[in-house]
Amino acid sequence: MENTAKKTVLSCIQPSGMLTLGNYLGALKNWINMQEEFDCTFAVADLHAITVRQEPAKLRAQIHSTFALLLALGLDPERSTLFIQSHVPEHSQLAWLLSCYTQFGEMSRMTQFKDKSAKHADNVNVGLFAYPALMAADILLYNPDFVPVGADQKQHLEITRDIANRFNGIYGDVFKIPEPFIAKTGARVMSLQDPTKKMSKSDENLNSWVAILDTPDDIMRKFKRAVTDSEARVCIGEEKHGINNLIGIYSAITGKSSDAITAEFEGKGYGDFKMAVGEAVVEELRPIRERYEQIIKDKKQLEELYKAGAAKAERTAIRTLSKAMKKVGFVL
């Protein structure tokens, strides 16, 4: 008989502040598309968020709002498993196990740890250092075939594969080795004000990033102010970081190639191009914001959905954790 089991997908997102156009184009948009073809599990990675200091009431609100946003994006709790990471304690348990199979040296090479510890020099905590072991646990618990992420998470995927291979090398085939899924367009959305830097919600310059929930006026204003260059030609170029970024955003939304975009704006100025990119982003995000405003009002329904999602996720998580624990020699 033909094997009709769908391939599986897992990914997570931190609830640390407003989600950005970078999160959307680099990861979330692919999640929505993958939902059609794959058996998907997606989580709000709240445990990861406390590697930097969070204000309790704000964190709680952001966890709710991130979960609501996943629904507003069109992720369907009937088809995919949607949950909040801390509701499935197996994530923390497997993270401990995996951290004992991860070398200090390999963790020390993580560029995100280096960046974040430079940024939060007053709080370089052990959790920030061990973060990739928790991320490896998030992934390996569900044996996914693919993990859709932006380019900045590639190194964390590589260490996950290394840890899984090491564990399997000792104990036999416990974990499936996952493949990163990094889209060709949108994998690295850059700041609108300094396009050599990644677009990030922690950027103090509010014109440098677009939130998924920004109003159309805010979005247009930010694109109008986006940094470009003095050449006045819409085309990809080595030193044209601002225009390259805008072409990438426009391409990720419209599906047009960069050559088609160059042809479309031949003879037109950057002003017209920035307006067109802004409008494309406004129209892409409008229905999401409208749905979000409805969904976030119904706290009771949200609670029902994230509880049901956690119960469903935990069934798989328990199975994988028990298998790993037995192999190591724990008494279960």
∠ at Cα 296 (147, 45), nearest 5°?
A: 30
Q: Is 11 in the site for ligand TYM (CB under 6 A)?
A: yes
Does 30 interact with ligand TYM (rule: CB under 6 A)?
no
- The token duo for 118 is 């430079």
Q: Which amino acid is at 9?
A: V
When CB distances to ligand TYM are compared, the closest residue is 26
Q: Find the binder of ligand TYM among 120, 166, 188, 289 (CB under 6 A).
A: 188
Burial class (CB in 10 A: 0-12, 13-18, 19+), 308: middle
Least separation in angstroms between residue 38's CB and ligand TYM is 14
Q: Does 27 bind ligand TYM (CB under 6 A)?
A: yes
The least CB distance from residue 48 to ligand TYM, in Å, is: 5
Q: Per CB under 6 A, does 150 bind ligand TYM?
A: yes
Q: Is 40 in the site for ligand TYM (CB under 6 A)?
A: no
Q: What is the CA radius of gyration of the chain?
A: 21
Q: Among residue numbers 111 through 140, which ones bind ligand TYM (CB under 6 A)?
A: 135, 138-139
Count Cα atoms within 13 angstroms, Cβ side, for 77: 23
Q: Which residues are catalytic?
A: 116, 198, 201
Residue number with CB closer to ligand TYM (198 or 241): 198
Nearer to ligand TYM, 83 or 298 (CB): 83
With 0-12 CB in 10 A as exposed, 13-18 as middle and 19+ as buried, what is 178? buried
- Look up residue 198 and give its amino acid: K
Stretch that binds ligand TYM, among 99-107, 185-193, 239-247, 317-325 (CB under 6 A): 185-193
Work out which of 40, 147, 159, 261 binds ligand TYM, going by CB under 6 A: 147
Q: How far apart are CA 43 and CA 67, in angstroms?
A: 8
CB of 150 to ligand TYM, least distance (A): 2
- Residue 9's DSSP bridge partners are 40, 146
Which one of 99, 153, 228, 245 is in contact with ligand TYM (CB under 6 A)?
A: 153
From edge to edge, which strands make up the β-sheet containing 81-84?
Answer: 81-84, 39-44, 8-13, 146-148, 179-181
Give the Cα separation of 80 and 139 in Å (integer). Answer: 15
Burial class (CB in 10 A: 0-12, 13-18, 19+), 57: exposed
**Minimum Å distance from CB 139 to ligand TYM?**
5
Residue 45: CB minimum distance to ligand TYM, A: 4
Which residues contact ligand TYM (rule: CB under 6 A)?
11-14, 22-23, 26-27, 45, 48, 135, 138-139, 147, 149-150, 152-153, 156, 187-189, 198-199
